[in-house]
Amino acid sequence: MKTGLLTVALVFALIAGVSAQPAETPRTGGVLRVATIGEPPTLDLHTTTAVIVQQVTWHVYETLFTYDRQYNAVPLLVDTHTVADSGRTYVFRLRRGVKFHNGKELSAADVVASLKRWGRLATPGKQFWKNVEGVEAKDPLTVALYLKEPSGAVLMGLARPNNGAAIYPKEIVDAAGDNPVKEYVGTGPYRFVEHKPDRHVRLARFKDYAPRTDTSDGFGGRRTAYVDEILFIPVPDVAVRLAGVETGEYHLALQIQQDQYERMKTMSGVVPGLIKPEGWSTAVLNHKQGLMTDKRIRQAFQAALDMEPIMAAGFGNKAFYRLDPGLSFPEQPQWHSRAGADLYNQKNPAKARKLLADAGYGGQPVRWITTKEYQWMYKNALVAKQQLEAAGFKVDLQVVDWATLVQRRNKPEAWDVFSTGITFNPEPAFSTATNCNWPGWWCHEDKEQWLDSLARETDPRKRRAMWEKVQQIFYDDVGRVKFGDYFGLDAVRKELHGYRPTNEKNLWNVWLSR
Amino acid sequence: MKTYIARRLAALLPVALVVATVAFILIHIAPGDPAAIIAGPDANAEDVARIQRQLGLDAPFHVQLFRWYGRLARGDLGQSIFLRRPVLEAIVDRAEPTILLTLYALLVAVALGVPAGVVAARHHDGAADQMLMAGALAGISIPNFLLGLLLILFFSVWLGWFPVAGYSPLEYGWFGTLRSLTLPAFALGVVQSALIARIARSAMLDVLREQFIVAGRAKGLAERAIVYKHALKNAMIPTVTVIGISLAILISGSVIVEQVFNIPGLGRLIISAVLRRDYPVIQGVVICIAGIYMLVNLAVDLSYVLFDPRVRYH
Amino acid sequence: MSVLVLPRPAERESRRLLWLTRLVRRRATVIGLVLVVSTLVIGALAPIIAGDPLRMEVSARLTAPGAAHWFGTDDVGRDVWNRVVYGARLSLVVGASVVVLAFAVGLACGLAAGYWSRLDNPVMRVMDGLMAFPAVILAIALMASLGPSVVNVIVAIGVVYAPRVARIVRGSVLVIRETTYVEAARALGVSDLVILARHVLPNCLSPVIVQGSFVFAAAVLTEAALSFLGVGVPPYVPSWGNILAEGRLYLQQAPWLVVYPGAAIMLTIFGLNLLGDGLRDLLDPRLRGLVRERS
């Protein structure tokens, strides 16, 4: 009897052991090769909203907070924090023993210097800093942030990865001032090794990384660097990018054209990674200089467009786009609204023509800069151009590479419209889509007031109402022109495990099986 | 013979001068202010003025030209706007894949082209000749990028024998490098081999009709000896010339093929420089490539000494 | 009709007939002629036989060739037949213009260099300097400076091929200059320009005409390559190179995007090469002589 039971127990143990077999045990080692859309214009996260920069550098830098799976703010470099003075004072206690890549230990002085620089240089940073009275280091591990008014968006603002409040060593911040930093040193699980322009950006595991101990949830919690090195390789040609994953050349290829989805499903060894939503496609209008300063011309632009063919041309497969007027996505019910929907997707060239006549439009070419590096931007612009010209516009479509577009859009005299995508952002208060300082320079008194209130308000329902007001003004004043929501597609090798397709693309906690 | 070599070298000098001048002019025929172009799209008025003073762009044209010659003589090719490093450094960095690809393609072109031309000449007007020459004509009619796309489709995507794109640097092993360069080398080389075949064939035909060949036959020498020992050697001059020209065409072609196969060589460098209006890089690359071509031509000229004794006493 | 000019007027008529029959008898040349003429006709009649190459019918994107769209549609719904036909038009315009430009400049330089020995060295050094740049590289660099447009493409490619024409012309001129009737004309005091126009120019045309076909082919090929790389004509101008570049991604699912423009390029260039070969064989005896003496 006893031996019988023992045998059964043994068998069970064996079965349990076998079924717990590591199909999913992370393996350390290997070089992860990631094919990106092109060269990052810089590696200084404070200075640009270009998504490619964040996707590369946030393995190197860390912020005080980050997002969990639900896109709530959770602490990263912060250990605990307290809120005092009815929401006007935040006191952050930093984690002990966090090391920078140059060996220095993280201290409050580094945080203060970095936050100040972020508040000066970064688009969301400047917005955030409008409400900041001051920031200081109370002791080597404590930072106090004093606000002018209470705000519901502080932690989210500090957690934002794109153009985020990365913490650099104080010495590097001081040395750079307002110029781009010369060294790329952070506290992240990977450290910067080298950047060979047009070849790769190479990151290597940081041996002295101090991970959090809580379980990983979204981007929060424990971050483990399984792979030895990460290579970000610029491959501007999307055909080559995808083909490279098919043959195993790359483990991950970003921004694959959506109409390749069906084909990708048939490729052995390749897993399509859907990012829903990724962002919304838009034409940014120049409110500072040029044709688009005239509201009637803007309204004509908005009226003439038929969004369905524009989006269909850009994204192909219907599963990858959606027409929706919201500045936020239906996936965010707490923010999504249909305010201004009657001005979205008007398909009314007659109205456009009349508006152009009223404005006295004399046929001057509308200078529209776009790029083929994001294929859909080019196609959206191409179809929109055809529709606009049918409504009486003359459009000069200039196709450049993304790095040039990002630089040129800073010069108000150089363009009237440029193409871009507004990526998914969980916190509307810092959205670039509505920001006055961001290229496009859409500044509207009422809108600025609503945005300021939004940043300060803590009641979620009141915040939502404010955001709706902003959205209405977005359509009435034609801040930008939204084409539609789009979902992203990455190509993932099956040897890459643990990868969760998101906009931000985190490559910690992933491992290679081969 | 020494005078021959010296004369050839001396003849290079004026050509080199013209090359340098053409490269200099490139930035001046572009619409817009050269200083603004060099400063980049991000600069403001003071930056542009500073660049103007720094690079002496406010000096008169001929002064600038002579300063340019001086810089080139010292090997200073300027600074890249976008890469923010010396142009020469960027070129040296990218040279490896282009050089290897060009040599590999040349090997393919010669290995396919010369035998094809010789065989066709030998069987003049026969079936082999007609077929080979038809094939050669088709070969020079297909653009190398089209051939590259088709090769990718057959050998990479469908058969999986070769990587679809990319370049494996030598430091990771020569086998990987060869494998990653094979399809591009064939895309380049096959087209070129067609040209070489045609020239080799016509050169061989010319020679075979020469008196001394007829005399050799009359003397009873074996056909093989005639073809391979006497005729081939004499046919080598125009053939070597076309091989030299092929190198130029191959370097040109590698620019295109590098784009198709995403190889980080000089071709990709110059294309991205053109798209970004990075003039110092464009100027640097064209000078380097022209320089290489001139040296190759010189080598070809000097090689005539081996093939044609008459040259020595010219 | 006859573009072949001979030195001895009396024999012109009979020689012309002989050459024409020889031309027609070589089948290959006829095929070349047919191909070239077809492309010419298609390109010329583009507005009649094809619709708007820029019109996008997004709902019909990536449709296979069929009744509605003979060559199918591309990824934004443009009809490929329209684009290929207009692409033919562009290639022909570019090819012909390049030939005209390269010949005009090349003839002028070659005549000057060959006839007046003082000009020989400087002019030919400049030509050699230009030829030291591989063709596509120089074209790319010039396009970088000039900016993308059809005219600039023509200028850039024309500048690239003019020196080659100049060199051939110069070679002919050097030989013709030494002939007795030119010497006689000079001795009689006939002005240089008249000599050039009446005696020299007509006799160096034969090798130049042969080159015409090859320069045309090279121009079509170079334009396609430049446009494929993105540094040729602007993206909205239908060019075979542009169409190929855009169709690359769809090689497997929509091969018609690559097959039709690819075939168009190949057939056109094949035809031009056949024609060029045929012309060269026709003028063979004269050409041979020139080639020998030049080298």
ipTM: 0.81
Q: What is the pLDDT of residue A64?
A: 93
> Pick from C136, C146, C248: which is nearest to B256 by CB?
C136
Subunits next to C (3 or more Cβ pairs <8 Å) are A, B
pLDDT band at A7 (very low <50, low <70, confident <90, very high): low
pLDDT band at A394 (very low <50, low <70, confident <90, very high): very high
Q: Is the pLDDT of residue A14 over 60?
A: no
Chain A residues within an 8 Å CB radius of C242: none
> Pick from B259, B273, B290: which is nearest to C132 by CB?
B290
pLDDT tens, residue by residue, C153-179: 999 999 999 998 998 888 888 888 888
Q: What is the pLDDT of residue A102?
A: 92
- The SS3 call for residue A280 is strand
pLDDT > 90 fraction of chain C, expressed in percent and rounded: 31
The sign of the torsion formed by the CA atoms of A116, A122, A123, A124 equals: negative
Task: Say if A462 is an interface residue toward chain B (CB within 8 Å).
Answer: no
Phi, psi of A501 (to 5 degrees): -70, 115
> Pick from A237, A246, A401: which is nearest to B262 by CB?
A237
With CA atoms as reference, report the closest residue to A486 among A400, A369, A387, A374.
A374
What's the gap in Å between the CA of C118 and the closest CA on chain B?
16
**Pairing status of strand A31-36 against strand A229-234:** parallel
Write down the H helix ranges in A177-278.
238-246, 261-266
Chain B residues within an 8 Å CB radius of C134: 248-249, 251-252, 289-290, 293
pLDDT band at A496 (very low <50, low <70, confident <90, very high): very high
**Which 8-state DSSP code applies to residue A148?**
S
Task: Say if C231 is an interface residue toward chain B (CB within 8 Å).
Answer: yes
Nearest chain B Cα to C227, which residue? B256
Ordered DSSP codes for C217-234: HHHHHHHHHHHHHTSSS-
- What global pTM score does this model have? 0.79
What's the gap in Å between the CA of C135 and the closest CA on chain B?
7
Chain B residues within an 8 Å CB radius of A410: 42
Q: Is the pLDDT of residue B113 over 60?
A: yes
Q: What is the pLDDT of residue C283?
A: 72
- Mean per-residue pLDDT, C266-282: 87
pLDDT band at A146 (very low <50, low <70, confident <90, very high): very high
Q: Is the pLDDT of residue A30 over 80?
A: yes
With CA atoms as reference, report the closest residue to A92 among A155, A34, A50, A5.
A155
Let me know how long chain B is. Answer: 314
Contact assessment for residue C200 and residue C182, using Cβ atoms and an 8 Å cutoff:
yes
Amino acid at A85: D
Ordered DSSP codes for A39-51: --S-S-GGG---H
Structure tokens that stand for C197 in this block = 């126009």
Task: Say if A296 is an interface residue toward chain C (CB within 8 Å).
Answer: no
Q: What is the pLDDT of residue A114?
A: 95
The sign of the torsion formed by the CA atoms of B226, B228, B233, B239 equals: positive
- Mean per-residue pLDDT, A4-31: 59
Verify whether the Cβ–Cβ distance B18 to C252 is below 8 Å: no
Chain B residues within an 8 Å CB radius of A198: 83, 264, 268-269, 272
With CA atoms as reference, report the closest residue to B184 among B170, B198, B163, B159.
B163
- Mean per-residue pLDDT, A107-114: 94
Verify whether the Cβ–Cβ distance A243 to B83 is below 8 Å: no
Q: Which residues contact A487 (CB under 8 A, 6 or more apart)?
A: A258, A274, A275, A276, A277, A278, A315, A319, A320, A321, A322
Measured in whole angstroms, the distance separating CA C83 from the mean position of its chain's CA atoms is 21
pLDDT band at C13 (very low <50, low <70, confident <90, very high): low
With CA atoms as reference, report the closest residue to C40 among C93, C97, C105.
C93
Higher pLDDT, A362 or B246: A362
Cα B238 from Cα B196, distance rounded (Å): 10
Q: Of the ranges A186-195, B244-253, B261-270, which is most confident?
A: A186-195
Q: What is the pLDDT of residue C17?
A: 61
Task: Say if C221 is an interface residue toward chain B (CB within 8 Å).
Answer: yes
What's the gap in Å between the CA of C269 and the closest CA on chain A?
27
Let me know how long chain C is. Answer: 295
Question: How many Å from the N-terminal Cα to the C-terminal Cα in chain C?
Answer: 33
Q: Which residues contact C161 (CB under 8 A, 6 or more apart)?
A: C98, C102, C106, C135, C215, C218, C219
Chain C residues within an 8 Å CB radius of B294: 132
- The SS3 call for residue C241 is helix
Higher pLDDT, A44 or B232: A44
Structure tokens that stand for A254 in this block = 């970003």
Q: Is the pLDDT of residue C292 over 60?
A: no
Burial class (CB in 10 A: 0-12, 13-18, 19+), B129: middle
Amino acid at A52: I
Ranges A322-326, B126-130, C215-219: which has the least confidence: B126-130
Task: Say if B248 is an interface residue toward chain C (CB within 8 Å).
Answer: yes
What's the gap in Å between the CA of C234 and the closest CA on chain A?
9
Verify whether the Cβ–Cβ distance A247 to B83 is below 8 Å: no
pLDDT tens, residue by residue, B84-98: 788 888 888 888 889
Q: What is the pLDDT of residue A282?
A: 94
List the beta bridge partners of residue B170. Answer: none
**Which 8-state DSSP code applies to residue A181?**
P
pLDDT band at A390 (very low <50, low <70, confident <90, very high): very high
Verify whether the Cβ–Cβ distance C130 to B255 is below 8 Å: no
pLDDT band at C294 (very low <50, low <70, confident <90, very high): very low
- The SS3 call for residue A171 is helix
Structure tokens that stand for C238 in this block = 């239908």
pLDDT band at A22 (very low <50, low <70, confident <90, very high): very low
Long-range pairs for A492-495: beta carbons < 8 A, 24 or more residues apart: A492/A245, A492/A251, A492/A252, A492/A270, A492/A271, A492/A272, A492/A273, A493/A245, A493/A248, A493/A250, A493/A251, A493/A252, A493/A269, A493/A270, A493/A271, A494/A269, A494/A270, A494/A271, A495/A248, A495/A251, A495/A269
> Pick from B143, B157, B297: which is nearest to C221 by CB?
B143
Nearest chain B Cα to A410, which residue? B42
Q: What is the pLDDT of residue C289?
A: 37
Q: What is the pLDDT of residue B314?
A: 46
Q: Which residues contact A56 (CB under 8 A, 6 or more apart)?
A: A36, A40, A43, A201, A203, A232
Verify whether the Cβ–Cβ distance C58 to A313 is below 8 Å: yes
Verify whether the Cβ–Cβ distance C252 to A263 is below 8 Å: yes
Structure tokens that stand for A293 in this block = 């300063």
Q: Of the ranges B132-141, B276-285, C96-105, which is most confident?
A: C96-105
Verify whether the Cβ–Cβ distance A239 to C75 is below 8 Å: no
Q: Is the pLDDT of residue A1 over 60?
A: no
Task: Say if A240 is an interface residue toward chain B (CB within 8 Å).
Answer: yes
Cα B229 from Cα B207, distance rounded (Å): 12
Ranges B68-77, B204-213, B304-313: which has the least confidence: B304-313
- Average predicted confidence (pLDDT) for chain A: 88
pLDDT band at A459 (very low <50, low <70, confident <90, very high): confident
Ranges A128-137, A443-452, B117-126, B131-140: which has the least confidence: B117-126
Chain C interface mutation, best of B13, B15, B26, B269, highest count of C Cβ atoms under 10 Å: B15
Higher pLDDT, B297 or B282: B282
Q: What is the pLDDT of residue A16?
A: 47
Three-state SS string across B251-274, please?
A: HHHHHHHHHHHCCCCHHHHHHHHH
- Mean per-residue pLDDT, A375-403: 90
- Mean per-residue pLDDT, A118-144: 90
Question: How many Å from the N-terminal Cα to the C-terminal Cα in chain A?
Answer: 46
pLDDT tens, residue by residue, A38-90: 888 889 999 888 888 999 999 999 999 999 887 888 999 999 999 988 888 99
Task: Say if C229 is an interface residue toward chain B (CB within 8 Å).
Answer: yes
Q: What is the pLDDT of residue A18?
A: 45
Verify whether the Cβ–Cβ distance A247 to B160 is below 8 Å: yes
Chain B residues within an 8 Å CB radius of A413: none
Structure tokens that stand for C110 in this block = 């070659």
Q: What is the pLDDT of residue A140?
A: 92
Q: What is the pLDDT of residue A42?
A: 85
Cα C247 from Cα C232, distance rounded (Å): 17
Task: Say if A305 is an interface residue toward chain C (CB within 8 Å).
Answer: no
Number of Cβ within 10 Å of residue B198's Cβ equals: 23
Chain C residues within an 8 Å CB radius of B143: 221, 224-225, 228, 265-266, 269
pLDDT band at A20 (very low <50, low <70, confident <90, very high): very low
pLDDT tens, residue by residue, C188-218: 877 777 777 777 777 778 778 888 888 999 9
Cα C194 from Cα C200, distance rounded (Å): 9
- Mean per-residue pLDDT, B38-52: 67
